[in-house]
Structure formats: C-alpha cells, structure tokens
Amino acid sequence: MPLRLSPFLLFALLAGCVRPPSYAPPSLPTPTAWKNVADSLTAGTPPAAVDNPPAPGSWWTLFNDAGLNALEQQATAQNFSLQAAVARLESARANVRVANSYRSPLVTVDPQVYRSRLSALRPLPFPVASSNLGVVQSQYYIPINASYEFDVWGRIRSSIRAAEADAQVQEANRRTLLLSLTADAAGYYFNIRGLDAQLLVLDTARLDRQRSLELTRARYQAGVDNEIALHRAETELANVDASVVETRRQRLGLEAALATVLGVPASGFAAAPQPGPLAAPAVPASLPASLLARRPDLQQAERRLAAASARVDVAKLTRLPTVRLNGYLGPQSAQLGDLVKVADNYTYYVGGGVSIPVFNGGRNRANEQVARSEADALVADYRQAALVAFQEVETSQADVRQYQTQVAARQRAYRAARLASALTKERYRAGLTTYFEVVDADRQTLDAATLLTQAQSNLLGASVALVRALGGGWE
C-alpha cells in the first residue's frame, strides 16, 4: 500500500526541518594596539553574543576611599533611574514569556446559554398544513475550544529570539546606567574633594594675607612703608576672599548634582568636607584587551542589532503560509439538567486550515523592507559606537598619562614657589626689598598651590573616565 501523507502532516514535518538564518555580529574596524599605552595588548575584539554578560563590579574600590565606597553603595541602592531600568528589564523578560506562549496551544472554555424563537413566516423546504410554525428553543453549551499554529517556517521562533534579545538589551541598559551613575557619583565626589583641597589652600593663603596686611599696616603707621603697599595688601586679601566665595559656590552646585545621583533631595544633602590628599590609583601599563566584551553600552548596541535581525526574519516569514489546527469539544443540550448526560449530548469538531497571503497591497513586502532598513541603521550605529568607545579609551589613557606628568611638574613648581615666598618675606622684614615683591611671591605660591590641586583633581577625574571607558575598571 503506498504511503500517503496529509498536507497537515507534511507541514508538521517541514516545521522540524526549516531553520531561519543564523545571526552573527558584524565585523568592526578594531585597532591592533592602544596608542597611549607603552605596553599595549590588542585593543579589542568583537563582542560575542552572550546571554548573561558579567556586570561591572565594585570598581570604585580601586580608589581605596571609604567615603566614596559609602556613596556608591547609596547610589546603587537608591537611584531612581536605576530602579526604572530594573522595571524595564522585568517588563522585557515578561515579553519573552509572552512570545514563548505562542508556541503552545490556546485552550479556552466558553460556556454559552441562550433562548431564541424562529419566525413562523420563515421559508420552509416543503409546504405544511399547520399555520403555527414559530419555534422557541433554549440551548446550553459548554465547549472547550482549542487552536494551535504550527511554526512551520520558524516565524514564532524568530519572534522569541527577538524578545530574548530585547531582554538582553534592557539588561545591558541597566548595567550601562549602573556604570554611568557610579562614575558620575565618583566624578562629583572627587570634584568636591578637589574644591575642599582648594579651600584649604585659600584658607592658608587668607591667613598669610591677613598677617601680611597687619605687618604692612604696622610698617605704614611707623612710616616705613607707603600707603600704596597698604592698599595692595588689602587688595590681595579681598581677592582671596572672593576666590573662597566662588569655590564654595561651585561646591554647592556639585553637592546638588551628587544628591540627585544618590536619590535624595538636594535641599537636605551636604557632603562633609574632606581636605585630605588627592591620590589617584596607579593605572597598569598593560590594559585589558577585552574592551568590546566589557562595555555594556556596546553589548546593548549589539543585542539591539540581534533583535532587529530576528525581526527581519519575522517580517520575511510572514509572507509564507500559516498552518493552524483548531477544534472544540463539549456537551450541548436544550435542558440544563441534561448537560450531565455526556454520552448523548457531546459535540466536537476537529479541523485545520492554511492561510496563504495572496494580496494585501504590498504590506508584507514593505514591512520586510522596514525591518531590513532598521537593521542596517543599527549596524551603522553599532560600528559608530565602537569607534566612539576606542576614542574614549584613547582619550582617557592620554589624559591619565599627561595629568600624571603634570602633577609631578606642579609639585616641583609649588615647592619652588614656597621657597621663593619664604625668602622674599625674610628680605622684606629685613628691609631689603619692597612689598611688591612679597605680593608677587605670594601670588605665585597661591597660583602654584591652586594649579597643583586642580591637576590632582583632574587626574582623579581622568582615572574615573578611564574606568568608564573600559567598561568598569582595568583589572
């Protein structure tokens, strides 16, 4: 006897054979080595599509600062933007479950009860003698309906892949936001510490200017100095007071920005002054070669591209026939009490069909073109994001190296300025020079101290920027 296959069985067999095209991340223009590192490894490799990439760790512990550690813990626990990102991640994971549900049959129970009357004047297939042909009838029906779509071409599977990639996009977005807000918190914190160090310099300079003013006033009253020297001393003291006010204004703005990152109202937040030394961590000579596998923003861009690629498959497969199986089973009776007589009152239907797209004005073809264009745009976005990532790493490395050299030079300048100021004041007390040289020496010392604190603060900021560019540390 020849073997005969029904169309539905044939489509079911095809469902196990057809596979959508596999996705691979696009190639990237990857440099062979970092330019601003003496001992450099390969700069980066294209990121692999991973389901659960590692999240950035507690990178801020590299700075060995207890105050920073406490602020980062508060930021990660209370920041509202991060909480919103977590909620969006949960929504995306729920969408994955929604997409998976289409692989299962749809089963519903639809109890029905109705009463109807057929018209006495309705057309009849044969003449009858009676004139009272109106019929009143009741019906009770409890069907169990079921339907199932065979994923013959893989359209549902492609939808699931798109939903899974969307969930990975939101996970990468959460980690990107986590890295960004912790880096912002560190940046604000170190800027505040830099201003605290600058306020300490200004406080010391103010005491020095106050003593100089008192000495100059005494010399003026004794007839040793002229009135010009007295007014110059008053001017220098007033200039330092104005610098103190401006520095405190900047500090208040940074406090407000830090409060927002920490998830607390700016009006009730105050950062305690910490005028201690500004020491940046040592950056190793060889940096990780896995930049593209560590940066969550690049992982986000790649996963967004993977989702778009899966939607291209969905749009393309929508143009193919759809195979469905459906049916129902349940008791039906004119009397409510007869519903329990299952042997006599049950009804059922089992069938299926094939829906073949024939004409819809080119809608399916246009939807496929839309999906392909969106995927092409995301390819360009992904490659551009990679170039920006390499730019940020190179810039941050250059900043760290140059600021390290600058700090060393500023330290030498500050030591020389302090020595010159001390010698000038000794000469002034001995009457060997004018007050103008004292003013100039003090100004050079204040400038050198201010520039040193700024360079140290800039080095800390560049170190934070390097951490951000590398995706969360260099270890």
Q: Is the dihedral of CA 331, 333, 338, 341 positive or negative?
A: negative
Looking at residue 271, the DSSP 8-state letter turns out to be: P
Strands, E assignment, 200-345: 322-333
Provide the residue range defining the domain that includes 342.
104-121+134-150+321-356
How many helices (H) and strands (E) the chain has is answered by 10, 6
Q: Residue 181's closest CA among 66, 95, 234, 258?
A: 258
Axis-axis angle for helices 80-101, 155-221 (nearest 10):
180
Axis-axis angle for helices 155-221, 227-262 (nearest 10):
160
The answer to whether the CB of 325 falls within 8 A of the CB of 8 is: yes
- pLDDT class of 94 with cuts at 50, 70, 90: very high
Looking at residue 29, the DSSP 8-state letter turns out to be: -
Residue 418 lies in a domain: yes
The count of structural domains within the chain is 2
Q: Give the integer Cα–Cα distance in Å for 158 and 180.
A: 32
Residue 435 lies in a domain: yes
Q: Which residues pair with 324 in a beta bridge?
A: 149, 353
Indicate if the pLDDT at residue 49 is higher than 50: no
- 264: domain CATH number? 1.20.1600.10
**Residues 335 and 372 grouped into a single domain:** no
CA 340 vs CA 144, 332, 336, 349, 421: distances in Å: 15, 10, 9, 20, 108
Residue 329 lies in a domain: yes
Q: Which residues pair with 169 in a beta bridge?
A: none
**Residues 339 and 351 grouped into a single domain:** yes
Neighbours of 97 (CB within 10 A): 11
Q: Give the integer Cα–Cα distance in Å for 385 and 301.
A: 8
- pLDDT class of 340 with cuts at 50, 70, 90: confident
Given this model, what pLDDT does residue 48 score?
46
The answer to whether the CB of 380 falls within 8 A of the CB of 404 is: no
More confident residue, 28 or 243: 243
Can you read off the two tokens belonging to residue 176? Answer: 């990107």
- pLDDT class of 248 with cuts at 50, 70, 90: very high
The arithmetic mean of pLDDT across residues 393-412, rounded, is: 92
Query: What residue type is assigned to position 270 of the chain?
Result: A
**Residues 388 and 430 grouped into a single domain:** yes
- Report if pTM > 0.85: no
Reported as a single tens digit per residue, the pLDDT across 263-308 is 999 998 999 888 778 888 888 777 765 666 788 999 999 999 999 9
Residue 129 lies in a domain: no
Among the three residues 356, 379, 413, which one is the final residue of a domain in this structure? 356
Q: Residue 89's closest CA among 164, 199, 9, 179?
A: 164
**Residues 146 and 214 grouped into a single domain:** no
Residue 30 lies in a domain: yes
Q: What is the DSSP string of 231-271?
A: HHHHHHHHHHHHHHHHHHHHHHHHHHHHHHHHTS-GGG--P
The answer to whether the CB of 189 falls within 8 A of the CB of 278 is: no
The arithmetic mean of pLDDT across residues 360-369, rounded, is: 92
